[in-house]
Structure 1
Amino acid sequence: MFSFNDKWRAWVVVALLFLFMVINYADKAVIGLVAVSVMHDLSLTPRQFGLVGSSFFLLYSVSGVVFGFVANRVKTQWILVFLAATWAIVQFPMVGSVSLPMLITCRILLGVGEGPAYPVALHACYKWFDDRERSVPNAIIAQGPFVGMMLAGPILTFFIVRYGWHSAFLALGVIGIVWIVLWLLLGKEGTVDADGATQKEDHQETVPYGTLLTDPTVVGNFILWFAAFAVVALCFTWIPAYLRLGLGYSATTTGWLFSMIVTAQIPVAIALSWVSKKLLASGVSSRVARGVLAGGPIVMAGAIFWSIGSIGSPGAKVACLAAGSAMIQLIGWLGPLMLGEIVPTRQRGALLGIHNSVGTVAGLVAPAVMGFVINDALSPAAGFEQGFELLGALLVLSGLIGLYLVNPEKSRMRFFRLIQTSESPQPANTGISKRMSHDGGLINQSKE
């Protein structure tokens, strides 16, 4: 076995979790890249293919909630192995003869394995870093989805064009198995949450789930993530098809354009993440540094998607797709951090899972709605652009509601008071001091 000290092991784990998310999002993106070929070979209408895209999310959210609670009790080290094995196994039936029922079944099972992936990966990361050190590793893992989709565009398209669309699924299955081997050799469970008096004291400090789930900051994060994930789900399922059927690009050009659209998201996410960190360091409230910085761009993205239909140039339409997709990304990073500020450690895994699952219900709806709109439109291009108008309206409305609701400081104080009220009186001079943290968990406790 390999041996690392804790410092290096922590960053090896971050690197593996980054690769975990790269594979996760390449798995998601492949269905959009093979869309035109699959519709042709299986004689599917846009409505049927939209249902295929949505089927991936049928149990995605349920799985996310279930594994969120499992992560409170089972080591994330083994949960990650199970999830990655599920992804790999369901790719192989797609290598041979495929029918519509088989396609839908494999996508549903893939959704079961991928639904909990991001929150469980973050939960595993948080076990290696305390709250004040999580920004950088959190940001690295959050880049995994971007890189996964960016690489999927040209690489999987190469396999599709040269060897047929079945080969893309074979490649993803093999890559999943390779990751499992690496994780078993190099991965390990972190101990930050289990160290010292913090965990011993904190294990009693919980807030009723009814109270957590109706808190305005939590609800606001749910709404923002729901709207953002509608864009993400359409990127997986329909954006490559729009580039081909709506704008007339070739399969190879579509692969590169899809990669460019995703690549444009990375500097925007990094820049806004840096701004958020600087604002927090300068004393700006989390409501502004995280809430406004996540919600405001979603409103802007809504306006961008709404305008696509009125733009004549295909190049300008592609630029709008890139800009709109980039604007919604930050909530995927800042949302979990905001929840990490206010949720007790013992309940963090479950809340991250619920948050991800509630938001990703959009994936069950958005691809199917787009498919129905395209199917009933005068032309594929007109159908896509009508769908983008609906998406724009959803983003603007959800962004405004989220901006109004999100207030981590207020929620943290509310939960703090609930915990203090529910605790039995502590003996004097216990040696324990409790203080609220500006940028991190609900309560930090330390021996004086």
Structure 2
Amino acid sequence: MKKTNGRWLVVVLLFVATTINYMDRAILGIAGPSMMKDLSLSAVEFGILGSAFFWSYALMQIPVGVIVDKLGARLTYSIAIVWWSLCTVFTGMGRSLGGLIGIRVLMGIGEAPAFPTNTRVISDWLPSHERGIANGIFNSGTAIGIGITTPILAWIIQAWGWQASFVVIGSIGFVWLAFWLFFFKNHPEQSKIANEAEVAYIKEEQTQTEKAKTLNFSPFKFFKFRSVYPMLYGLFAHNYLTYLMMTWLPTYLVVEREMTLLKAGFFTMLPWIMSFLGNILGGVLSDFLIKRGWNSIKARKTVLTIGMLFPLAIIPTIYTDSAIMALTYISIAIGGEGLAAGILWATVSDVAPKGAEGKLAGLQNFVGNLAGWIAPVATGILIAKFNNFNIALIIPVVICLIAAVGYTFVLKNERISINTDIDGGTKVSGL
């Protein structure tokens, strides 16, 4: 019997969901110049508004990881996308800083399950040697959501106002939900889109460790493992760069580089197109190394290290007077860092014990999204203090270089093992 390819339809669903997820959170940055003018917001106030989403988003990651492992991906994602889509629509109705902050905090709760759920789905539906490209595909939705839709959103804002853009984008999630409920089941053997041959292929390629029963333990137990620390910090570094650019890049082009909003909307696409390509390439490259016989974690961390060196390209932006050259340097930095972004979550699937992917993904996403608390606000403060973006742009370069060092020298080339003993305690290895 020839095997079906239902697992790749699932990956496409995750890609579209991730695209919608980032469209809904990134639209604030695109609407920023109009909102600041209409609502009389200072740079610091807008930075606080940009950060508000991440206050709840980060804090929810620990309980969400447990919820995903308990409830399953199908139900968790369904509730999440309805929640965050409604919050996006309501953002367009906000007229005060306090009201908008409240809506963004609620939206952070709704979006919190997305990446832990994606990680669990990839682990359940893909064999190890295909997870790199699968993670690269779904994670490339971040670049599409932030960048490719920018000109459309800029046009909507100019034609109908910033409020209309939130209503339009917030409505898309309900369309995706219909496809999710129709096609997706928590496990391939439960689904009509995967035949017996495909299910056998997926199961055969999963290791015996992955087939072990789900273990119940606190996500904080992962802090006992050395390998966890570069993973947590690595996502923090990636997110700091991403959230800074997501919140401030359109404003940077309008204010610092004196572009019109529509022109800035068009040019903002370029770094995220590069990021999209980097995400895919990072997944392909790491899977290629695994097929050549590399240890899967060694393959992932090699690509992660290379990707985290590319933000060095940001440094020349502070020395050029050309808006196009500045955007070129930023595009190289974000595109190259996309190599790492594409496999950040594949690494979780390789390192975490089977049944605990949601817990480790939730912990990683909690620490990683603390960057969302810091980057938008710190950038606003630095802009107000120095009246330019120079220092704000250098900070993510340093942060990403430290991440490269951590991946190289701290992340071990072996899976974490947590074995439940007969008394309900745990025995740990891979420290």
Q: Would you call these one fold, judging by a TM-score over 0.5? A: yes
Report what 1:340 is aligned to. Answer: 349
- 1:332 to 1:192, Cα distance in 2 relative to 1, 3 A: farther
User: Displacement of 1:192 after TM fit?
Assistant: 6.2
Superimposed CA distance per residue, residues 268-294 of structure 1 (whole angstroms, 9 cap, x where no aligned partner): 333333222222222234454211211
Output the CA distance in 1 between the equivalents of 2:116 and 2:215.
Answer: 21
Alignment of 1:296 with 2:306, yes or no, is: yes
**1:14-413 alignment, distance < 5 Å:** 14-96=11-93, 98-191=95-188, 202-203=212-213, 209-301=219-311, 303-377=312-386, 379=387, 382=388, 384-409=389-414, 412=415
CA contact (8 A) 2:132 2:282 kept: no
Gaps of 5+ in 2: 191-198, 424-429
Output the CA distance in 2 between the equivalents of 1:250 and 1:268.
Answer: 28
Output the CA distance in 1 between the equivalents of 2:342 and 2:280.
Answer: 10
CA contact (8 A) 1:33 1:157 kept: yes
The one-letter code matched in structure 2 to 1:400 is: V
Output the CA distance in 2 between the equivalents of 1:201 and 1:245.
Answer: 54
Report what 2:426 is aligned to. Answer: none
Output the CA distance in 2 between the equivalents of 1:104 and 1:245.
Answer: 24
User: Displacement of 1:368 after TM fit?
Assistant: 0.4
| Equivalent position SS for 2:69 | coil
Superimposed CA distance per residue, residues 50-106 of structure 1 (whole angstroms, 9 cap, x where no aligned partner): 111111100111222211101111021011011100111112223335211111111
User: Displacement of 1:327 after TM fit?
Assistant: 2.4
User: Displacement of 1:390 after TM fit?
Assistant: 2.1
The one-letter code matched in structure 1 to 2:56 is: L
Output the CA distance in 2 between the equivalents of 1:391 and 1:129.
Answer: 33
| Equivalent position SS for 2:338 | coil
User: Displacement of 1:33 after TM fit?
Assistant: 0.3
Output the CA distance in 1 between the equivalents of 2:310 and 2:236.
Answer: 16
CA contact (8 A) 1:223 1:402 kept: no
User: Displacement of 1:335 after TM fit?
Assistant: 2.4
User: Displacement of 1:174 after TM fit?
Assistant: 1.3
TM, length-normalised to structure 1 = 0.84
User: Displacement of 1:267 after TM fit?
Assistant: 2.3
Output the CA distance in 2 between the equivalents of 1:225 and 1:280.
Answer: 22
CA contact (8 A) 1:12 1:187 kept: no
CA contact (8 A) 2:24 2:85 kept: no
Output the CA distance in 2 between the equivalents of 1:396 and 1:201.
Answer: 36
- 1:340 to 1:199, Cα distance in 2 relative to 1, 3 A: closer
Report what 1:10 is aligned to. Answer: 7
TM, length-normalised to structure 2 = 0.87
User: Displacement of 1:27 after TM fit?
Assistant: 0.8
- 1:62 to 1:192, Cα distance in 2 relative to 1, 3 A: farther
Gaps of 5+ in 1: 425-441, 443-448
User: Displacement of 1:130 after TM fit?
Assistant: 3.0
Output the CA distance in 2 between the equivalents of 1:152 and 1:158.
Answer: 10
| Equivalent position SS for 1:202 | coil
- 1:176 to 1:6, Cα distance in 2 relative to 1, 3 A: farther
Moved more, 111-120 or 365-374: 111-120
Output the CA distance in 2 between the equivalents of 1:30 and 1:90.
Answer: 13
| Amino-acid identity (%) | 23
Aligned pair count?
410
Output the CA distance in 2 between the equivalents of 1:401 and 1:125.
Answer: 25
Superimposed CA distance per residue, residues 10-45 of structure 1 (whole angstroms, 9 cap, x where no aligned partner): 333222221111100111210110110011011111
CA RMSD across the alignment = 2.7
